[in-house]
Amino acid sequence: MLIGLEIMINASRAGLCGRRKLLGQTDGQVMYILAISLAAAEASIGLALLLQLHRPSPRT
């Protein structure tokens, strides 16, 4: 599921870059930075999930 979300974010980034180039507006650039921060948050969530899966269980 996280991989599919990453692909969708990358596709929207490509569209935003094209919009900036065609229209000459900075809106696409701002949204691109927002998409990068969203991808970073997604990566941190994925890493947290992996760390929780591989956490050693306490021994009694």
Residue at 59 is within a domain: no
pTM of the model: 0.62
Domain that holds residue 16: 2-43
Considering its fold, how many domains does the chain have in total?
1
Residue at 38 is within a domain: yes
For residues 22 and 37, give the distance between their C-alpha atoms in angstroms, rounded to a whole number.
24
Q: Which residues contact 44 (CB under 8 A, 6 or more apart)?
A: none
Using one digit for the tens of pLDDT, what is the confidence trace for 1-27? 667 877 887 788 788 777 777 777 777
Q: Is the pLDDT of residue 48 over 90?
A: yes
* 44 confidence band (pLDDT: 50, 70, 90): very high
Q: What are phi and psi of 58, to 5 degrees?
A: -70, 140
Is the Cβ–Cβ distance between 9 and 38 less than 8 Å? yes
Q: Residue 2: what pLDDT?
A: 65
Residue at 16 is within a domain: yes
Using one digit for the tens of pLDDT, what is the confidence trace for 50-60? 999 988 777 76
Q: Residue 47: what pLDDT?
A: 92
Residue at 26 is within a domain: yes
